[in-house]
Amino acid sequence: MTSNETHNLPANLVIRTDLKPGDIGSLIYLHGVLYATEHGWDHTFEAYVAGPLAEFAKSQTPRGRIWIVEESENVAGSIAIVEVSNEEAQLRWLLLHPRVRGRGIGRMLMEDAISFCKAQGYTIVFLWTVRALTAAAKLYEEFGFHISEETIREIWGTTVTEQRYELRL
């Protein structure tokens, strides 16, 4: 299923909700390379993404979904909703390649993800991020998320301030 029909996307961009061979590896690679370049994170961040993403792909349920952004048939981003409990969902793996940023695609992904959560009957959506990701934080806040927890940790080869954002639906 693609979202080109419901979103006004350029012809070379597609947002789809089905996983294809190579998607998981591409998303792990994209996370690893972009965050290393943009924030100096080391290879352990790739492992942090790889484990849960692989588990999600192996055991997808109807109450979880991933959206893959393709640019000219190359994976250029994603967002996912992972079922945590009957009431709670976790928003994960929101990322866009710099080539596709600034076009409203992040907002489209968030709209689709929140609508999906409401349709599934979730009452809380939460996510973990880091303070350095200010553009993402602005987007989360626009959708009504608020910070519910904050902690400073030494991870991914650096010191980060992790933040948990929550949205009550």
CA angle 85-83-16, nearest 5°?
165
For 116, phi and psi rounded to 5 degrees? Answer: -60, -45
User: Domains of the chain by range and CATH?
Assistant: 13-168 (3.40.630.30)
What is the C-alpha to C-alpha distance for residues 106 and 43, in angstroms, rounded to an integer? 25
Distance CA 75, CA 30 (A): 8
Beta-strand (E) ranges in the chain? Answer: 13-16, 65-71, 74-83, 88-96, 124-130, 146-155, 158-168
Q: What pLDDT, on a 0 to 100 scale, did the predictor assign at position 10?
A: 82
Structure confidence at residue 94 (pLDDT):
98
pLDDT (tens, 9 = 90+) of the chain, 169 residues, equals: 555 555 778 888 999 999 999 999 999 999 999 999 999 999 999 999 999 999 999 998 999 999 999 999 999 999 999 999 999 999 999 999 999 999 999 999 999 999 999 999 999 999 999 999 999 999 999 999 999 999 999 999 999 999 999 999 9
DSSP summary character for residue 134: H
What pLDDT was estimated at residue 3? Answer: 52
Other CB atoms within 10 A of residue 100 CB = 18
DSSP 21-59: TTHHHHHHHHHHHHHHHHH---THHHHHHHHHHHHHHHT
Going across the sheet that includes 13-16, the strands are 13-16, 65-71, 74-83, 88-96, 124-130, 158-168, 146-155
